[in-house]
A and B are shown apart, each in its own frame.
Chain A
Amino acid sequence: MTERFDGVPTSGRALVAMATALLLAGLGVAALVAPTSGPGRLFGLVVSSSTLGATLRLSVPIVFAAIGGIFAEKSGVINIGLEGLLIIAAFAAVFGADVTGSLWLGFLVGVVAATALAGLFAVVCIEFRADQIIAGLAVWLIALGLAPFGSQVIYGGPNTDSVGTLGTVTVPGLADLPVVGALFDASPAVYLMFLAVGAAWYTLNRTTFGRWVRAAGENPKALDTAGVDVSRVRYAAVLLSGAFSGMGGAALAFSIGQFTGNGPTMVNGKGFIAIVAYLFGNYNPVGALLSTALFAGLDAVQLRLQTSQLYAVPDSLVQTIPFVAVIVVLAFVGRTRLPEAAGEHYESGEE
């Protein structure tokens, strides 16, 4: 039974990767053969530097949240409330920037707010043994209520005032390269994202703390026997998930310079997409980055399709593309191999 499913994830992943590559190759061929045809122009749109730029910008909150989710889940606490952490951070960052007058101080306020909410989630799950899924949903719903509430109280509407954006860091010369130029003309948050992916990969795979985190999720008993406090490791991992999500939420808010709180707020499902991104990326920060690139890339193409007159598909339907992609990917990936003790409370024998 399990062996059958163990085979599924890799083949599912390979399938999605191959389908994406084939589709791009097909569009590329079409572009060579008939550059003015619909598919040919679509290829031009997909591989343009501005699409890459949009992909990077849209990836930032998802990748940060996904890294946070990896730490929490690897340690054995499934954090389904990433969406809520992004929401609270986005609002707190704008509020912080508004009060302090500094975007980077606001950024810090966002990180602190998300870490605090993650801390509450950690206490509820680890100390009071709440069902992790339900507690995670509660975190999402609390933030979904609290951020627009706060915005209404302070700014008199669900959208906050504008506090300005982080701007861009441009590498002269390289920024003018075709296709990849956007990599060298991006928001500081984009560079921070790449840095975070590297740091998270290193921490998880090359440090003692990373080993503890993995052990807390796979075999808490062994970790306990080795004299390491399982609960402490889990607290640290969940707080980290808050800190990373906080950076993602703050970066999201500063990409347009304000918080918008109507309906699902500006976060609009990015925290849930992040969960699929790290599942699809097999709990590897680099894998999460790549799968986010797929979702965010589709989102970027979707945004460009709305403005270009390429196909006469209504905007509302084009906007469903990223969400449908997430469902399709999840269906292909199927059951992922969760850490052995994920979702379970661990009771130390010494208590």
Chain B
Amino acid sequence: MSADEGSWRETARRRLIELGQTSVGERVLIAASALVLSVLLGTVIVFVAGLLATCRDPVLTIGGSTLCYDPFYVFDRLFLGALGDPFAGGWSPLNPQFALTLRETTVLVFTGLSVALAFRAGIFNIGTQGQLVIGGLLSALTVLWAAPLVSGGLGAVLLVPLGILAGAVGGGLYGAIPGALKAYAEANEVITTIMLNFVAVLVARYLVTGPFNDPNSQANQTPPLPAAGRFPSVVFDPRTDFSLLALGLALVFVAGVYYLLTATAFGYDLRTAGLQPAAAEYGGVDAARTVVSSLTLSGAIGGVGGAVYVLMILGTFQTGVPSYGFDGITVSILAGNNPVGVVFAALLFGVLKSGSTVVAFATNVPPQLVGVLRGLIILFVAMPELFRLIGRRLAAREEESATAAVGGGADD
């Protein structure tokens, strides 16, 4: 028993030491450690919140104070609930909760990719949210406009691709604005993209409450899209609003971005501009054009995310779009801005988002918990030095001599 525990500790220590010295797999370890730390801190937050909240049936009474939430049960619901309780028996991967997880994952792959692509070019695209809103809106309007023009089977084949294209155009143009402002007026893109998020929400609200309002609905939305303009459900129950086709499209985009970054001249320019802007310019890269095209492309991917949100989930465009764009920032940072990593990070985040609905149902913990975790994860991933420091301390103790090596990861 104790020997077992010792070897476990030994392995963990090795891992941490490696973390401080190698770069192979470092990102994965940092992401995993960040996640674990965030969940640990999240547990503390849920515990404190449980003490502050008032409820009729507390799980625990300590002295005079009551504990309303059981942190362990919360995280059990968050992770296992999102998968539809795989250990409960009779589990099927087609269960509605898992479909919800995959549905959220699909949109998050797009927003994560959008942020990641910009990051690789050295650009902070905080505006994926706004690009998703504009893309989704334009997608809905285009499908509504085109639906009467195409009939029967042709509609089913044409409308969804048209909607996706419209989403890409809308998001791309909306991403081009901060791109041009950065390239030609040197306006910081962090600020302009955040401001444009606000503008996007307001413009969308104007359009769906005014000219394109659905007269038959109380909600601020466009008229519902025709069935031919929506993603057909494959295998999964249509009521889950999840389509394997959309997930497939997301994976195609992942492959596309991966190919673009690693195998094309544009991708090379983009990465060089991100890593060493001065060197890129010296090497003949047109910096201004690279900035505009990367943000346009990034916006287009976000816009496609919006189109998928509209064509797969909503079936209309409605105000109050969930914060997929901001989640995309966490997804991208967690994935180390790697397109393939984005798939896993998006799945993890899909679990969190879907799980939070289970949590809200099973306990009284507000689903905003995911919002807290979203920020914490970024914070922990942002400080690899924390893990390196722990790694170095352990390494120094390991060698137990004054000749402690000057760590390889000392200065970035």
Contacts and interface: CB of A to CB of B under 8 A. Distances in A.
B366 interface: yes
Contact of A317 (B196, B203, B370): B203
Contacts, number: 149
A327 interface: yes
A57 B188 CA distance: 27
B205 A130 contact: no
A317 B374 CA distance: 31
A323 B187 contact: no
Contacts of A124: 379, 382-383
A145 B52 contact: no
A134 B366 contact: no
B126 interface: yes
Given A272-B194, A316-B202, A326-B195, A153 B52 contact: yes
Contact of B326 (A141, A146, A316, A320): A141
B195 A269 contact: yes
Nearest to A95: B52
Interface string A30-50: 000000000000000000000
B374 A320 contact: no
Contact of A141 (B188, B192, B320, B378): B378
A130 B371 contact: no
> Which of B53, B210, B383 gathers the greatest number of chain A CB atoms within 10 Å?
B383
Contacts of A288: none
B369 A129 contact: no
B91 interface: no
Given A316-B203, A319-B202, A275 B382 contact: no
B366 A152 contact: yes
B124 interface: yes
A55 B382 CA distance: 37
Contacts of A127: 385
A320 B191 contact: no
B206 A314 contact: yes
Contact of B205 (A138, A140, A316, A324): A316
A296 B330 CA distance: 32
Contacts of A158: 368
Interface in A224-276: 263-264, 268-269, 272, 275-276
A274 to B, nearest CB: 10
A276 B189 CA distance: 12
A320 B199 contact: yes
B329 interface: yes
A137 interface: yes
Interface string A49-83: 00000000000000000000000000000001000
Contact of A139 (B191, B375, B385): B375
A81 to B, nearest CB: 10
> Which of B45, B206, B329 gathers the greatest number of chain A CB atoms within 10 Å?
B206
21 contacts: A80-B190, A124-B382, A134-B382, A137-B124, A138-B379, A139-B375, A141-B326, A141-B329, A145-B375, A146-B375, A150-B49, A150-B52, A153-B49, A154-B52, A275-B191, A314-B206, A316-B203, A316-B209, A316-B210, A323-B198, A330-B191
What 7 A-B pairs come out closest when comparing CB atoms? A145-B371, A142-B375, A141-B375, A152-B366, A316-B206, A138-B379, A128-B383
Interface of B: 45, 49, 52-53, 124, 126, 181, 185-188, 190-192, 194-196, 198-199, 201-203, 205-206, 209-210, 320, 326, 329-330, 333, 365-366, 368-376, 378-379, 381-383, 385-386, 389
Interface of A: 5, 8, 80, 120, 124, 127-131, 133-135, 137-146, 148-150, 152-154, 158, 263-264, 268-269, 272, 275-276, 314, 316-317, 319-320, 323-324, 326-327, 330-335
Given A141-B375, A327-B181, 18 more contacts: A124-B379, A128-B386, A130-B379, A138-B376, A141-B371, A142-B372, A142-B376, A145-B368, A145-B375, A154-B52, A269-B195, A275-B191, A316-B203, A319-B202, A326-B191, A330-B181, A330-B185, A333-B187
